[in-house]
A and B are shown apart, each in its own frame.
Chain A
Amino acid sequence: MSTVEVNHISKTFATTRAVEDVSFTVEPGEIFGLLGPNGAGKTTSIRIILDIFKPDSGSVVVLGGPMTEEKKNRIGYLPEERGLYQDINLERCLIYLATLKGLEPAEAQKRIDVYLQRFDLADHRKKKVKELSKGMQQKAQLIVTLIHQPELVIIDEPFAALDPVNTQMVKDLLREERDRGKTIVMCTHQMNQVEELCDRLVLINKGKTMLYGSLGEIRRQYATQAVSVHSPQTLPKAIPGVQHVKRENSGYHLLLTEGTTAQQVLRELVERGIPLDSFEIAMPTLDEIFIQVVRGEGARG
């Protein structure tokens, strides 16, 4: 049974079509990427999943059925931007929001102590939320998202305000949660984070699904007939089966002719006695795919 099933949802605000016929499923225990440029309809989709908005058409199944009040305690949500009370002290804010997720105050306090230590926020517990830096607020929000040990975690731009150290910490935390069997939906436009963390993803643009599948599949789908080669020696200009040789950073990008396989090129290079530091199929980065899709080149093949 999928944790989240989104079936053909559409949503229009006044004259703006925010989401149009979007479908995807999120499986238990995976980190699922919900990607798209700004204004693509990611947040609207999330709000529909969370039942903040009702879709104009289509349906959503969450944790085995429609969204209910009881299920709210089994879901953790981190919205984009702030989302905390600014005028009260951090600890009180966390306890209040945790109790709203069904925790008893004493239990909430105990768990908050652990999280504050781990997130390096213990010294700031009595400070007003608005006195904390953006990064600290982001971490505090993550505490609110995770404290009630939800089965489904939905996070919108979790790394937006974090420095590299904290980014790493949050990534570790998300992996940890996944390893405990939690399902995570991560909404972002930072492709490198998705490459590192996500198992599967959907890419939406202008409200429509552009790509959907596992990371590997999608990259293979977008792979060109090319290999990337590193060699201490200069490569010859003409290699059989190679259309074009281009210098790329410290190595070479070889574009193969139609019908040539990477093995043939490798054999050729080895036979010519060219020393090789590395030889790999040139996979497009998610960034490249993203830009390609968003610029309207569409899916291939």
Chain B
Amino acid sequence: MRKLWLVAKYEYLRHVLRKRFLVSILSMPIFFAFIIGVGFLSAILQMDRTPIGYVDHSGLLANPQRPPEAEDSLDYVEMTAFPDEPAAEAALAEGSIRAYYILDSDYLSTGAVEVVANEAKGTEGQGDFRDFVLYNLLQNQDAEVRERLVNGPVLEIRSMDGEKGMGENNILGFLVPMVAAIMLMISINTSGGYLLQALVEEKENRTLEILVTSVSPTQLMAGKIIGNLSVGLTQIGAWLSVAIIGLLVLVRFLPVGQDIQLDPGYLGLLLLLMLPAFVMISALMAMVGATATESREAQQIAGLFTLPLVVPIWFISAILANPNSPLAVGMSLFPLTAPLTLSLRAGYTTVPAWQIITSVTLLILCAIGALWLAGRGFRIGLLRYGKRLTWREILGRQNGRV
């Protein structure tokens, strides 16, 4: 057993101490920060704070008011009153306003409004003006009533048993399953890829001969899988810490993240799905590494079973629109698609316990099966340089003769 840990430790440190690993850990948060940053930047750039003009023939806006907190908002737009159309026209021509609205004298009965703008469509600030008019029409209402009428209801969506709830404004409820699933896939793929590459290299430069004459093939493989699994977990751990720090910052400075709720049960489920998936993929990678003759070929074969892992992404809208459809349930049970599908669904709906239990059990069984296959493939294909191994040989009953 001691040798198993030696192998695991070596495999772990060999990746973690490399610059490449540090880069891969940093690149993900930097990538996300970049995407979010660019999103914010483009939103700010698109924001137009040029005042909007209006000519009020109805007299409804004779004494205009704005919500007191509105001036602090990033997208506050000033509303300028003009006595008549020519004055507004002149202001529009010199660019001090971007558009002007003309409220008819019988606005209240007809709702007729004319808007004059000289720029491209969509820059007239209709929403802003609508809110402005609405707010002022409700001037005499109770403040709370006015607030409700202007801002509308705050929706909270609940599943039927009342366990799973999601606030309309809870961005995290939407993001966490998605991001978790993507992180899982990336780290399974990278650490599985490390394992595959390491094995093919060891085979190519004959280090495997030294290794198998020092350690039993089972210990060697188990050690390698544990080592690489830990690399993947470290990677996820690092990303999670960055994500949590990021969220704390977000909560502090922006109102959006205030009703964050990370369900420990959900995190537990992620772990239950992830560990066997990790072992399964690592073992399959190890098998390919042991049977393929060169790294390029190995990578091509590895693609065949890493592809199904990300298939649920293609069906994401179907799964989210109807998280309990046969497609979603089927993909939650099939071991290769289960980790992503189930973690996505569990974020949006209450997945029945039998599905979780079946799915996790199947994953664990498959992980054990994959380890067994890898063990055989490893033993048989280990030193057959340049000779490809056939499925018949791996599955064939040769009583372990190699």
Contact = CB atoms under 8 A, between A and B. Distances in A.
A189 interface: no
Interface string A13-38: 11000000000000000000000000
Interface string A80-91: 111111101000
B143 interface: no
Contacts of B212: 52
Interface residues of A, number: 28
Chain A contact surface mostly: loop
A175 interface: no
B209 interface: yes
A72 B205 contact: no
A82 B206 contact: yes
A100 B6 contact: yes
Nearest to B206: A83
A69 interface: yes
B130 interface: no
A201 interface: no
A219 interface: no
Nearest to B400: A54
Given A52-B383, A53-B383, A96-B10, A79 B206 contact: yes
B205 A100 contact: no
A99 B209 contact: no
Interface stretch (B59-67, B116-124, B213-221, B262-270): B213-221
A97 interface: yes
A56 B399 CA distance: 11
A79 B214 contact: no
A100 B205 CA distance: 18
Contacts of B387: 13-14
A52 B210 contact: no
A52 B217 CA distance: 9
B20 to A, nearest CB: 11
Contacts of A186: none
B397 interface: no
A47 B209 CA distance: 9
Contact of B214 (A54, A82, A101): A101
B154 interface: no
A54 B402 contact: yes
Nearest to A44: B383
A101 B384 CA distance: 24
A83 B207 contact: yes
Interface in A40-68: 47, 50, 52-54, 56
A96 B223 CA distance: 14
A100 B402 contact: no
Interface string B208-236: 01111111100000000000000000000
A97 B210 contact: yes
Contacts of A99: 6
Nearest to B209: A79
Contacts of A77: 209-210, 213
Contacts of A88: 14
A96 B209 CA distance: 15
A81 B211 CA distance: 15
A100 B3 contact: yes
Give the interface centre of A80, A85, A144 by most chain B CB atoms within 10 Å.
A85
A65 B213 CA distance: 16
Contacts of A97: 210, 214
Interface in B104-163: none
A75 interface: yes
B209 to A, nearest CB: 4
A72 B209 contact: no
A82 to B, nearest CB: 5
A160 to B, nearest CB: 13
Interface string B190-207: 000000000001100111
19 contacts: A47-B209, A52-B212, A52-B383, A53-B383, A56-B401, A69-B216, A77-B209, A77-B210, A79-B209, A79-B210, A82-B206, A83-B205, A83-B207, A83-B209, A85-B205, A86-B205, A96-B6, A100-B7, A100-B211
Closest CB pairs A-B (n = 4):
A100-B214, A79-B209, A83-B206, A54-B401
Interface of B: 3, 6-7, 10, 14, 201-202, 205-207, 209-216, 382-384, 387, 400-402
